[in-house]
């Protein structure tokens, strides 16, 4: 074998070691690249998932905010409708009130104009002094008629059907009747009691009072007789007879006021009964 051939054999035999080393290096580099690529892919996927999760969260928050704003808008629209309706009603009432006010002012102006015309007419046709004097006489006559009517109204029919004299409604009226001197008068204040109390020529027992209805019940003792006057009213002439009095002139009791347990009023007796009888009795209850 020649020298050339030996050299060629050595070169051929040494070649696989470099190739293997190169392949090993390339394999290692490939593995490193694959590892780096996988790590980069995995990181990229995690980043993508994180971004998607963040976007989803933001999207949900935005949806919730939009839904809340939509509810608020609906509530505002509802409130606006209510306010609008109320405003319309208020405007309608205001318009109606203005119309009524205008009508009232017009009616008042018309009435005022009528009064002014009436006053002017009366001033234009002013009566003479003789007419004025005549009018004064007429007024005096009407006043006297009113006094007579008042006197008639102060007369009443008693509980026994007999027309009474003038009726006093209070202490001052009674003093006026005493000054007239038409009858004998004995003022009294009687408390509710079982024992009778003397009033002028008679004795009276107050049995019951009804202050709310101004009613009372009493028993009168006269001529050894007991006369019950039941459920009588204040201001009503309560009449009864005693010996020696005429049928047209009975004794009369009139109560001014009915209290809780007492009554105030007066006893009226005819002059024909005599003052001596009254004077001989004990003093009247006050």
- Asked if residue 285 belongs to a domain, the reply is no
151 and 166 in contact (C-beta within 8 Å)? yes
Q: How many angstroms separate the CA atoms of 106 and 102, rounded? A: 6
- Asked if residue 11 belongs to a domain, the reply is yes
- The verdict on 5 and 115 lying in the same domain is yes
164 and 237 in contact (C-beta within 8 Å)? yes
- The verdict on 54 and 172 lying in the same domain is no
For the chain, give the percent of residues with pLDDT over 90: 28
Does the structure show a pLDDT above 60 at 276? Answer: no
240 and 227 in contact (C-beta within 8 Å)? yes
Tell me the CATH number at 182.
Answer: 2.60.98
- The verdict on 274 and 166 lying in the same domain is yes
CA 106 to chain centre: 33
Number of folded domains in the chain? 2
Question: Tens digits of per-residue pLDDT, 165-182?
Answer: 788 999 999 999 999 888
- Asked if residue 50 belongs to a domain, the reply is yes
Structure tokens at 176: 């006026």
Average pLDDT, the chain: 75
226 and 219 in contact (C-beta within 8 Å)? yes
Instruction: Provide the domain limits for residue 111.
Output: 1-126
- The verdict on 7 and 117 lying in the same domain is yes
Q: DSSP label at 127?
A: P
Name the pLDDT band for 136 (thresholds 50, 70, 90): low
Mean pLDDT throughout 197-214?
94
pTM exceeds 0.85 for this model: no
Q: How many angstroms separate the CA atoms of 215 and 209, rounded? A: 6
- Asked if residue 286 belongs to a domain, the reply is no
- The verdict on 201 and 274 lying in the same domain is yes
Does the structure show a pLDDT above 50 at 149? Answer: no
Domain final residue, candidates 104, 126, 148? 126
Question: Tens digits of per-residue pLDDT, 21-75?
Answer: 777 777 777 777 777 677 666 677 777 777 778 788 887 888 888 888 878 878 8
Does the structure show a pLDDT above 60 at 283? Answer: no
- The verdict on 97 and 182 lying in the same domain is no
- Asked if residue 47 belongs to a domain, the reply is yes
- The verdict on 88 and 173 lying in the same domain is no
- The verdict on 165 and 98 lying in the same domain is no
Name the pLDDT band for 84 (thresholds 50, 70, 90): low
217-233 CB burial, b ≥16 within 10 A, e <16: bbebebeeeebebeebe
Q: DSSP label at 104?
A: H
- Asked if residue 262 belongs to a domain, the reply is yes
């Amino acid at each position: 074998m020649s020298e050339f051939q030996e050299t060629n054999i050595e070169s051929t035999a040494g070649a696989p070691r470099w190739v293997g080393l190169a392949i090993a290096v390339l394999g290692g580099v490939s593995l490193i690249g694959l590892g780096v690529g996988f790590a980069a892919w995995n990181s990229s996927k995690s980043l993508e998932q994180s971004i998607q999760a963040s976007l989803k969260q933001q999207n949900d928050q935005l949806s919730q905010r939009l839904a809340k704003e939509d509810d608020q808008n609906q509530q505002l629209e509802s409130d606006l409708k209510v306010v609008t309706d109320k405003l319309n009603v208020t405007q309608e009432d205001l318009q109606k009130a203005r119309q009524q006010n205008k009508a009232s002012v017009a009616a008042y102006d018309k009435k005022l104009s009528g009064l002014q015309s009436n006053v002017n007419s009366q001033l234009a046709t002013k009566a003479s002094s003789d007419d004025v004097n005549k009018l004064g006489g007429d007024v005096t006559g009407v006043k006297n008629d009113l006094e007579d009517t008042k006197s008639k109204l102060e007369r009443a029919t008693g509980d026994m059907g007999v027309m009474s004299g003038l009726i006093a409604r209070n202490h001052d009226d009674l003093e006026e009747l005493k000054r007239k001197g038409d009858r004998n008068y004995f003022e009294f204040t009687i408390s509710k009691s079982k024992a009778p109390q003397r009033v002028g020529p008679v004795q009276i027992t107050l049995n019951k009072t009804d202050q709310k209805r101004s009613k009372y019940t009493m028993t009168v003792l006269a001529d050894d007789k007991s006369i019950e006057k039941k459920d009588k009213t204040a201001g009503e002439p309560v009449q009864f007879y005693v010996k020696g009095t005429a049928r047209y002139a009975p004794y009369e009791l009139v109560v001014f006021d009915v209290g809780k347990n007492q009554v105030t009023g007066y006893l009226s007796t005819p002059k024909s009964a005599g003052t001596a009888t009254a004077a001989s009795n004990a003093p009247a209850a006050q």
